[in-house]
Amino acid sequence: MLAIIGGSGLTQLSTLEIARREVVRTPYGEPSGALLFGRLRERAVVFLARHGYGHTIPPHLVNYRANLWALKHVKATALISVASVGGIRDDFGPGALVVPHQIIDYTWGRKSTFFEGGDEGVHHIDFTHPYDEPLRQRILAAGMATGEHIVNGAVYAATQGPRLETAAEVDRLERDGAELVGMTGMPEAALAREIGLPYAAINVIANYAAGRGASEKGILFDSIEVVLQDAMVRVRRVLEEVCKS
């Protein structure tokens, strides 16, 4: 069963034929909301809104461990994350879709592992390649099949939030090699790896990062909403195609 976590702009899947909702209790507290079970193009899918269905949970307070544990508990076999990001590269303008291949983690203070010592023990994961390559290729193939251009590969910088970055901070991220900046990619990707859940992401560029492109004088939030509304229609089309494969 494919799991989909939706971020800003994707708090629901309008084409998902919902069969039931389930509130899952976890050892790590409450997930962001009830899990929605249904079918997408005849494939069993479970959906979760990362920030809650009313978009009430900021990035640094998302209970990532509960979310991932719950999805694994209901026997999800793969997970696609959908998240909006800022574009650092010149050609990463609003509306572009990107499937990242690497992560740099700048977050702090988040519960980032299921293994905290004691009875849980200590567990080290290989995180050389943070995204599952076969799942990445399925997304890219779905983009080709639907005629949606998806950029193959980018370095995602995970920042703490909830505020956006300063122009100087984005300069630093670029020097570090980052090409996208978002707030929810970590520890989500690492937790998925810890529990053996193949994980890949579709990043929707909502705006140029601070100091880049049209955002040089500041971020225009009204325009972000318009971009996301259009882009998420295309993302849903890609997800439907993924469910056919």
Question: pLDDT tens digits, residue range 135-184?
Answer: 999 999 999 999 999 999 999 999 999 999 999 999 999 999 999 999 99
**Contact predicate 106/165, CB 8 Å:** no
Say what the pLDDT of residue 226 is: 81
For residues 223-239, give the mean pLDDT.
86
Question: pLDDT tens digits, residue range 73-90?
Answer: 999 999 999 999 999 999
**Contact predicate 202/141, CB 8 Å:** no
Residues of the binding site for phosphate: 8, 50-51, 184
Residues of the binding site: 8, 50-51, 183-184, 207-209
pLDDT band at 222 (very low <50, low <70, confident <90, very high): low
What is the average pLDDT value for the chain, to the nearest integer? 90
Name the percent of the chain lying above pLDDT 70. Answer: 93
Longest dimension (CA), the chain: 51
User: Which domains are present in the chain?
Assistant: 2-242 (3.40.50.1580)
Is 29 or 121 the better-scoring residue by pLDDT? 29
For residues 212-234, give the mean pLDDT.
75
* Residue ranges of E strands in the chain: 2-6, 17-22, 35-40, 43-49, 78-87, 97-99, 102-105, 150-152, 155-158, 180-182, 199-208
Residues of the binding site for substrate: 183, 207-209
